[in-house]
Amino acid sequence: VKDWNGIDQIVLKVPSGASVRVSLHGGQVVSWRNEKGEELLFTSSKAIFKPPKAMRGGIPICFPQFGNCGSLEQHGFARNRIWSIENDPPPLNTNSKFGSGKATINLLLKPTDDNLKSWPHCFEFRLRICLFMDGHLSMTSRVRNVNGKPFSFSFAYHTYLSVSDISEVRIEGLETLDYLDNLSQRERFTEQGDAITFESEVDRVYVGSPTVIAVLDHEKKRTFLIRKEGLPDTVVWNPWEKKSRSMLDLGDEEYKQMLCVDAAAIEKPITLKPNEEWTGRLELSSVLSTCCHDH
């Protein structure tokens, strides 16, 4: 299918009716729907669908730099590039422990001359996106240092979850971890002992986070489970009201319906020697929370 700018999108569907839509612009997942057709990812009503801006929502790929802690544009160039489809990618070097029951697309990004000017490293970035029969989504990024000198990068799956009301959402799994607070020059703090809830702007990188994080949406009685491998950090971001007003591509009240929980590698950038390959895997599932604890 074509998108707003005539850029190809790929739709993955499974018999249950669940679907995923991926744009070749940025290799960005722009939609993930469950078997009832409910949209599980947030998309801003004011998203700018015009390259080189990344659409605000879905799951932009932040590579080779997260944030603006480096010489490149915010979150790096990968989310603003057109990716290509690779039909017969080399096999994943991790034994695929998942059955063949899934719909898959393999995307590829290689540096342009422009990229090489700003980031002189020869890489191949393969992104495999899978929608499984039960509707869960996996994204596997493989970055290989083709033949240059060693290079380092930071990375995030910048995941915009759709929530009913941010003040009714809590995150379990990040308790007692250290985090770098982007709102205070990335100063290091330690999270307290119970679930994270939201009543103001939050912009943090939890470091050394566990492999499973739960985001509980009280109203929708829905829990997102985030599983990750090779991605030791977790970004938690909600702009809240004041910052939202300064963002052209986000409605003033829409911060209430979104929460970014990004599987990432930020505190300790990944370093690849020539011909070495890094794999970062994210699995997202959405389950109905049977017992929504009243708290």
Residue 249 C-beta: closest distance to ligand TA6, Å: 8
Among 26, 67, 76, 111, binds ligand TA6 (CB under 6 A): 67
- Contact pattern for ligand TA6 over residues 139 through 158, marking x by CB under 6 A: --------------------
Among 12, 135, 203, 283, binds ligand TA6 (CB under 6 A): 203
Residue type, 96: S
How far is residue 34's CA from residue 21's CA, in Å, rounded to a whole number? 12
**In terms of CB distance, is 28 or 106 closer to ligand TA6?**
28
Residue 248 C-beta: closest distance to ligand TA6, Å: 10
| Residues 172-191 contacting ligand TA6, CB under 6 A | 182
Establish how many alpha carbons lie within 13 A of residue 184's alpha carbon, considering only the half-sphere containing its beta carbon: 7
Contact criterion met (CB below 8 Å) for 57 and 163: no
Only segment of 67-75, 121-129, 225-233, 266-274 that touches ligand TA6 (CB under 6 A): 67-75
**In terms of CB distance, is 20 or 235 closer to ligand TA6?**
235
Residue 233 in contact with ligand TA6, rule: CB under 6 A: no
Contact criterion met (CB below 8 Å) for 235 and 262: yes
Residue 74 in contact with ligand TA6, rule: CB under 6 A: yes
**In terms of CB distance, is 182 or 289 closer to ligand TA6?**
182
Residue nearest to ligand TA6 (CB): 237
Residue 260 C-beta: closest distance to ligand TA6, Å: 5
Burial 1-30, CB ≥16 within 10 A → b, else e = eeeeeeeebeebebeeebbbbbbbbbbbbb
**In terms of CB distance, is 77 or 237 closer to ligand TA6?**
237
**In terms of CB distance, is 57 or 135 closer to ligand TA6?**
57
How far is residue 278's CA from residue 295's CA, in Å, rounded to a whole number? 41
Among 21, 25, 33, 75, binds ligand TA6 (CB under 6 A): 75
Contact criterion met (CB below 8 Å) for 108 and 126: yes
**In terms of CB distance, is 67 or 111 closer to ligand TA6?**
67
Residues that bind ligand TA6 (CB under 6 A): 67, 74-75, 182, 203, 235, 237, 260
Binding site feature residues for substrate:
56, 74, 79
